[in-house]
């Protein structure tokens, strides 16, 4: 009887702990980024993709633009941004793309590129997880841009096969812009699209060069 009572008490304790942890994880997090009005640079770091996108929107509205992305030792991603314009102007907008499958990433890049987002090569990383590695990239859309972009992700374990795939993509008008190692070599190829991105305007494209 005593053993049954102890087992029941332990079960109730574990259940309560699991419920508390679930409540904490599901509780909405405040993503207000704190920085001074005269601050030139800001660093964002989080494990949650949705939180990162929200924070990117917040700081972009204050005139910041992404410079670099890097993996951290806590299974998340850190992003360095620089203030490039005064708050209140038309901001840069961002998409965070994350997946463990390179074909899924190619599809997501294609969708983002059709909307006028351009991959930022210096943000392409492989993020270590508990079970699998994840490919993470940021895509940026310039204010008032009317451009669209197309992408191919070339993957091969042998350099000779990769060379052939690169040559074939170059013949189609693509150019290599970054390479990531996720087991195999993955080379990202880009070319400017011919379609006007959905929701764009006829305003002049920003003269600032894309962050690389």
pLDDT in tens, the chain (212 residues): 555 544 444 444 444 444 444 443 444 444 577 777 788 999 998 777 778 889 999 999 999 999 998 877 666 788 999 999 887 788 999 999 988 888 999 999 999 999 999 999 999 888 766 566 788 899 999 998 899 999 999 999 888 999 999 999 999 999 999 998 887 889 999 999 876 776 554 433 333 444 44
Distance (Å, whole) CA 115 – CA 15? 46
Helices (H), the chain: 2-26, 49-60, 102-114, 159-171
Instruction: Report if residue 133 sits inside a domain.
Output: yes
Sheet holding 175-182, edge to edge: 149-156, 184-192, 175-182
Q: Is 176 exposed, middle or buried (0-12, 13-18, 19+ CB in 10 A)?
A: middle
Q: Compute the distance between CA of residue 136 and CA of residue 36 in angstroms, rounded to an integer.
A: 29
Q: For residues 197 and 114, what is the distance between their CA atoms, to the nearest angstrom?
A: 6
Residues 6+ apart with CB under 8 A from 148: 113, 114, 115, 116, 192, 193, 194, 195, 196, 197
152: in domain: yes
pLDDT (0 to 100) of residue 72 = 72
Whether residue 208 lies inside any domain: the answer is no
At residue 75, the pLDDT reads 60
Q: What is the total count of domains within the chain?
A: 1
Residue 94 lies in a domain: yes
Please report whether residue 8 resides in a domain: no
Tokens of 66: 């992404």
| Bridge partner residues of 83 (DSSP) | 64
Numbers of helices and strands, H then E, in the chain:
4, 10
In a domain, 1, yes or no: no
Residue 211 lies in a domain: no
pLDDT score recorded for residue 109:
95
Per-residue pLDDT at 191: 96
Q: What are phi and psi of 76, to 5 degrees?
A: -125, -170
- Confirm whether 61 is domain-assigned: yes
Token representation of residue 120? 């930022």
Which pLDDT score is estimated for 74? 61
**What does pTM read for this prediction?**
0.73
Residue 124 structural domain = 42-192
């Amino acid at each position: 009887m005593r053993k049954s009572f102890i087992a029941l008490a332990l079960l109730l304790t574990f259940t309560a702990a699991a419920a508390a942890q679930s409540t904490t994880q599901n509780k909405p997090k405040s993503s207000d980024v704190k920085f001074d009005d005269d601050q030139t640079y800001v660093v964002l770091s989080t494990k949650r993709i949705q939180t990162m996108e929200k924070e990117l929107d917040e700081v972009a509205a204050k005139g910041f633009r992404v410079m670099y992305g890097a993996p951290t030792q806590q299974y998340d991603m850190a992003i360095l941004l620089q203030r490039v314009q005064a708050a209140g102007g038309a901001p840069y907008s961002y998409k965070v793309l994350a997946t463990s499958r390179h074909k899924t990433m190619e599809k997501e890049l294609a969708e983002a590129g059709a909307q006028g987002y351009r991959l930022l090569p210096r943000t392409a990383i492989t993020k270590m997880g508990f079970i699998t590695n994840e490919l993470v990239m940021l895509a940026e859309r310039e204010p008032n841009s009317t451009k669209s972009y197309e992408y191919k992700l070339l993957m091969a374990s042998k350099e000779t096969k990769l060379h052939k795939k690169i040559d074939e993509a170059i013949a189609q008008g693509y150019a290599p812009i970054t390479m990531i190692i996720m087991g195999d070599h993955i080379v990202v190829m880009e070319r400017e699209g011919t379609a006007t991105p959905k929701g764009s305007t006829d305003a002049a494209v920003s003269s600032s060069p894309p962050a690389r």
